[in-house]
Amino acid sequence: MAASQDVHVRICSQEIIKYDLEIKALIQDIRESTGPPSELTELNSNVKDKINQLRMRIQDLEQMAKEQDKESDKLALLNEMERHRKQMLRKTTKQSLAQTSSAITESLMSISRMMSQQVHQSEETVATLATSSRTVLETNEEFKAMTGTIQLGRKLITKYNRREFTDKLLIFLALALFLATVVYILKKRLFPFL
């Protein structure tokens, strides 16, 4: 391997290791994240960027391996490239798990918000029902009071109707007595001999 290729391979390997460590750190941050979904989305985006950079460096290493003249150098670089590729696949799986986790978290937060809105609406409905119940009870009490007043009014009207009948009977009897007295007086004065 030429000296410049050897330096280039070492730089590429170091960058692969650097990206690998950065991806591990970002995945750890995702695991420990308790922030809003936007923070998880940003971390996922950073992981995607680092994985893409790692993929490019692995491809560079593969290209360098193919360009090697010595078969032993070529195999060593291809083995290292394959090892990094396998690690990258596990990272990609972790990243997809993190994205799924983020999506689930966002869905749960959305469900939580909807449930909170439903609870708020239920509280308002319960308050409205309580107010309506109070109004119905007050109306019922007023109705009972009015029923008592109506019954009292009915009793008074019945009593006045009886009194009116009694008064008419008394007036009729008094009128009959008056007329009988007038007739008696007229009879005694006009016809004393009868």
pLDDT (tens digit per residue) in 72-104: 766 776 777 677 677 766 755 666 666 666 666
Which residues, at least 6 apart from 31, have a Cβ–Cβ distance to it below 8 Å?
98
Q: Is the dihedral of CA 86, 91, 94, 99 positive or negative?
A: negative
Flag whether pLDDT at 1 surpasses 60: no
- Mean pLDDT along residues 139-156: 90
Cβ-based neighbour number of residue 41 at 10 Å: 14
Q: At what angle do helices 3-32 and 37-67 cross, to 10 degrees?
A: 160
Give CA–CA dist 87/192, Å, rounded: 152
**Cβ–Cβ under 8 Å, residues 106 and 37:** yes
What is the distance between the alpha carbons of residues 125 and 132, in angstroms, rounded to a whole number? Answer: 10
Read off the pLDDT of each residue in 21-48 and give the average, rounded to a whole number. 79
Q: What is the pLDDT of residue 69?
A: 74
Which pLDDT value is given to residue 119? 87
Q: What is the pTM of this model?
A: 0.44
Q: How far is CA 168 from CA 47, 155, 163, 181, in A?
A: 108, 20, 8, 19
Would you state the pLDDT for residue 27? 79
Angle between helices 71-190 and 37-67 (to 10 degrees): 160
Chain mean pLDDT for the chain: 81
Q: What are the residue boundaries of the structural domains of the chain, listed by start?
A: 1-136
pLDDT tens digits, 65-75: 777 777 776 67
Q: What pLDDT was estimated at residue 62? A: 77
CA separation for the pair 45, 42 (Å, rounded)? 5
Q: Closest Cα to residue 50, out of 84, 80, 88, 83?
A: 88
Per-residue pLDDT at 134: 92
Residue 190 token pair: 């006009």
3-state secondary structure of 34: coil
Residue partners of 185: CB distance under 8 A and separation at least 6: none
Helices within the chain (DSSP H only): 3-32, 37-67, 71-190
Contact 62, 78 (CB under 8 A): yes
User: Looking at the predicted structure, is the pLDDT value of residue 106 above 80?
Assistant: no
162-182 pLDDT per residue, tens = 999 999 999 999 999 999 999
